[in-house]
Every structure is written in structure tokens, then in C-alpha cells.
């Protein structure tokens, strides 16, 4: 099972200046619970934006850079290689971004775990359009903003139609 995990705004915006667009501790907690103990695959820019390996998960970072080494992460030269490695570790693999990696893996994954953030913000990276011809929304749980979470948001699950 390959699952994409993403938090996006109403216009599919996901990032600006190599940063996330919002502060939603509830979403970060959900992300941690979802991905802990499973391999996570990310692009080099997303890794740099996080700044360190995420604990209790095999961090697989895709990059074309040569002679790059960092403690605590596995660096691979292609998305295909990343998936090959991840499959050796676990049956559940999570793709955690960013935009570039999502575009290349959307057709390869079985499930989308989307946090839809109910806002429109200026961004320079976007998630691909989720086609209702291909995906079925199978779950949705919504929360209202509060003192710690600055926007209303919904946790949504999409599954591939032919897989149902």
C-alpha cells in the first residue's frame, strides 16, 4: 500500500518559499500518528524544509545530487529506487511531498490522506488535481478552528476507484 499524505488549501496550495502555509498542531499530530514506524519518501526540498530526519521512521530522500550524505536519512537517485527500498522495509509506505514528488507518484499510489485546509493562501507549490474519475472520497472528518489551529480543516481519505 502506497499512500500520499498531504495538507492542502482550497486551491490545492501546499507551500511557499519552501515552507508550509499554516500552523495546525492537530494536523501535525495526525501526520505523526499516520506515518510513525513506516518508511516515508520525500523530495530533497521537503527534507531541507523539515531540516532533520523525522524520528521512528525510515526517511528516504530523493535527490539527483552526488556526494551528498547526511546522518539518519537514506538518499536515493530516483522515485523508483525510493519505492523499491521502502517496499523492502514495510508493506505500508508513505509519500510525504513535496509538489514535485507528488506529481511523479500520484499515478503509483493506492490512497490519498488529504488534510483539506479551508483557506486560500498565496503559494508557489501545488498538489495535482484529484480527479473524481479516478478517486473516491471514502472518509471525511472535519474540525473547526480553535485557539491553536488557525483554520477549519477536514481529514479526507481517497481510494482509487478500481481498487474498491
- Interface contacts to ligand NAP, rule CB under 6 A: 6-8, 14-15, 18-20, 42-46, 49, 62-65, 77-79, 96-101, 104, 125
SS3 4: strand
User: Distance (Å, rounded) from C-alpha 114 to C-alpha 131?
Assistant: 14
Comparing CB distances to ligand NAP, the nearer of 67 and 162 is 67
Decide whether 78 or 161 has the Cβ nearer to ligand NAP.
78
* Shortest distance in whole angstroms from residue 163 CB to ligand NAP: 23
Least distance from ligand NAP to the Cβ atom of residue 145, Å: 17
| CA separation for the pair 84, 80 (Å, rounded) | 6
Least distance CB 157 / ligand NAP (angstroms): 15
SS3 81: helix
Q: Which CB, 43 or 58, lies closer to ligand NAP? A: 43
**For 16, which DSSP code?**
B
Contact yes or no for 29/74 (Cβ under 8 A): no
Nearest distance, CB of residue 36 and ligand NAP, angstroms: 16
Residue 69's SS3 state is: coil
Separation of CA 86 from chain center = 15
Whichever of 104 and 157 has its CB closer to ligand NAP, that residue is: 104
Say how far apart CA 112 and CA 130 lie, in whole Å. 9
19, burial (CB in 10 Å: exposed 0-12, middle 13-18, buried 19+): exposed
State the nearest-atom distance from the C-beta of 44 to ligand NAP, in Å.
4
Q: Which is nearer to ligand NAP, 13 or 58 (CB)?
A: 13
Amino acid at each position: 500500500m502506497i499512500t500520499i499524505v498531504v495538507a492542502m488549501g482550497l486551491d490545492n496550495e501546499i507551500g511557499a518559499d519552501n515552507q508550509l502555509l499554516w500552523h495546525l498542531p492537530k494536523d501535525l499530530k495526525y501526520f505523526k500518528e499516520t506515518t510513525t514506524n513506516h518508511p516515508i519518501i520525500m523530495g530533497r526540498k521537503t527534507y531541507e524544509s523539515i531540516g532533520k530526519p523525522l524520528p521512528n521512521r525510515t526517511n528516504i530522500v530523493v535527490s539527483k545530487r552526488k556526494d551528498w550524505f547526511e546522518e539518519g536519512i537514506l538518499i536515493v537517485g530516483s522515485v523508483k529506487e525510493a519505492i523499491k527500498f521502502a517496499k523492502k522495509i514495510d508493506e505500508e509506505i508513505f509519500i510525504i511531498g513535496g509538489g514535485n514528488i507528488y506529481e511523479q507518484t500520484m499515478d503509483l499510489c493506492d490512497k490519498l490522506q488529504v488534510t483539506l485546509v479551508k483557506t486560500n493562501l498565496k503559494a508557489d507549490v501545488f498538489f495535482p488535481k484529484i480527479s473524481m474519475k479516478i478517486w473516491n472520497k471514502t472518509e471525511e472528518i472535519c474540525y473547526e478552528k480553535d485557539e491553536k489551529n488557525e483554520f477549519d480543516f477536514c481529514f479526507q481519505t481517497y481510494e482509487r476507484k478500481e481498487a474498491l
